């Protein structure tokens, strides 16, 4: 069976390396993978297509709901008497970006975008939903995402105007870097698979780097956590307000969108913040280097490679350029994690 992929938001794509996928029959989906990230919500739908939306949620009134115009970059959810928009339209309506709140607490709403029956069905039982978390040792976060599970009770909601009846049997939280490590190891991304290797996940909220032994054990005291593009956007916003004498604070979402596009142009006035961003990035890179040297000093002689994944992976390009072949950015880093989750055993 072929494993197909669609072209998600911002033109990202990822070519599969083999056709491994569990068959799906009738009203049962054996496994659904879901990554409710700080910047993007990603999942794989019943047609085995990668879906990717901006991670922004807006609860709207009944009157606003009647005026909504659906689009292919948004999902409309009606559940328990409430109405939510997820994605680009939520951003345009002034919704709250997930990076400004707690994505685990929002998981029960965000995950509804990924609950889809098989083609031709209106009912679905998801036996297992794999959900990515920054840290599976955080009991509060684990408890929050496990609220998605509801088996044997059934729930009903409307997704883009269509009624869906569903159950989720089990929610399995996974550390965000772990599936990427196993996938990279199994697919031959590491040149030295017998050595320790690392995954560095650069996202909107945080940049998490973890070293793994060849058997997949994470080395706890080598964990490096740095701020992601949200912190850079905050610095840019402060500088832009001063440089352009603005009577408002530029939105972090707008700045991060411009960073993701690669043009560093803000708003309809096309305010260019490229020099401000370059300075902020230089400071971030130096901070990252210092933290890595400190936390990884004893491991560097035995470290094979560091594979950089996540939507903000390009920020680490200067580190890659000065480290030989030790640090490298994964192909299509934005989608690497969700593909890795789909392929994990």
Q: What is the DSSP string of 56-88?
A: EEEE--HHHHHT----TTEEEEEETTEEEEEEH
CB–CB of 117/158 below 8 Å? no
Per-residue pLDDT 10s for the chain (345 aa) are 233 333 333 333 333 333 333 334 468 999 999 999 888 999 999 999 999 999 999 999 999 999 998 899 999 999 999 999 999 999 999 998 988 888 888 899 999 999 999 999 999 999 999 999 998 999 999 999 999 999 888 999 999 999 999 999 999 999 999 999 999 999 999 999 999 999 999 988 889 999 999 999 999 999 999 888 889 999 999 999 999 999 999 999 999 999 988 899 999 999 999 999 999 999 988 888 889 889 999 999 999 999 999 988 988 888 898 887 799 999 999 999 999 999 876
Question: Taking the model in full, what pTM does it have?
Answer: 0.86
CB–CB of 39/28 below 8 Å? no
Q: Return the axis-axis angle of helices 229-243 and 252-261, rounded to nearest 10°.
A: 110
DSSP annotation of 267 reads T
- Measured CA angle at 319 (ends 251, 294), to 5 deg: 95
Q: b or e along 86-109 (b: 16 or more beta carbons within 10 Å of the residue's beta carbon)?
A: bbbbbbeeebbbbbeeebbebbbb
Tell which residue, 212, 144, 129, has the closest CA to residue 178.
212
- Measured CA angle at 179 (ends 323, 318), to 5 deg: 20
β 56-59/96-97 pair status: antiparallel
CB–CB of 306/200 below 8 Å? yes
Q: What is the residue whose two structure tokens read 């009647």?
A: 66
Q: What are phi and psi of 321, to 5 degrees?
A: -70, -25
CB neighbourhood size of 193 (10 A): 14
Tell which residue, 204, 202, 274, has the closest CA to residue 54.
204
**Separation between Cα atoms, residue 93 and residue 70, nearest integer Å:** 13
How confident is the model at residue 105, as a pLDDT?
A: 87
């Amino acid at each position: 069976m072929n494993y197909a992929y669609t072209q998600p938001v911002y033109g990202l794509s990822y070519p599969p390396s083999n056709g491994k996928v569990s068959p799906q029959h009738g009203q049962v989906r054996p496994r659904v993978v879901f990554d409710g990230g700080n910047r993007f919500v990603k999942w794989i739908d019943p047609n085995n297509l990668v879906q990717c939306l901006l991670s922004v949620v807006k609860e709207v009134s009944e009157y606003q709901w009647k005026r909504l115009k659906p689009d292919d970059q948004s999902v409309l959810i009606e559940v328990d008497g409430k109405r939510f928009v997820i994605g680009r339209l939520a951003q345009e309506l002034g919704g709250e970006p997930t990076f400004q709140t707690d994505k685990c607490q929002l998981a029960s709403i965000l995950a509804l975008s990924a609950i889809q029956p098989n083609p031709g069905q209106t009912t679905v039982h998801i036996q297992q939903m794999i959900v990515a978390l920054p840290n599976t040792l955080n009991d509060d976060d684990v408890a929050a995402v496990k609220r998605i599970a509801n088996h044997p009770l059934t729930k009903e909601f409307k997704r883009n105007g269509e009624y869906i009846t569903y159950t989720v049997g089990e929610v399995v939280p996974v550390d965000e870097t772990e599936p990427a490590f196993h996938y990279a190891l199994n697919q031959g991304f590491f040149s030295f698979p017998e050595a320790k290797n690392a995954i560095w996940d650069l996202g909107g909220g945080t940049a998490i780097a973890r070293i793994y032994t060849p058997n997949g054990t994470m080395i706890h005291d080598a964990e490096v956590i740095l701020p992601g593009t949200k912190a850079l956007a905050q610095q840019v916003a402060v500088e832009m307000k001063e440089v352009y004498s603005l009577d408002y604070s530029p939105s972090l979402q707008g700045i991060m969108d411009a960073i993701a596009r690669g043009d560093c142009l803000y708003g309809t006035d096309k305010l260019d913040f490229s020099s401000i961003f370059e300075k902020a990035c230089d400071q971030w890179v130096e901070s990252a280097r210092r933290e890595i040297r400190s936390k990884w000093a004893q491991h560097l002689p035995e470290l094979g490679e560091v594979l950089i994944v996540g939507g903000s992976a390009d920020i680490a390009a200067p580190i890659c350029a000065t480290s030989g072949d030790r640090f490298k950015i994964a192909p299509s880093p934005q989608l690497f994690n969700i593909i890795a989750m789909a392929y994990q055993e």
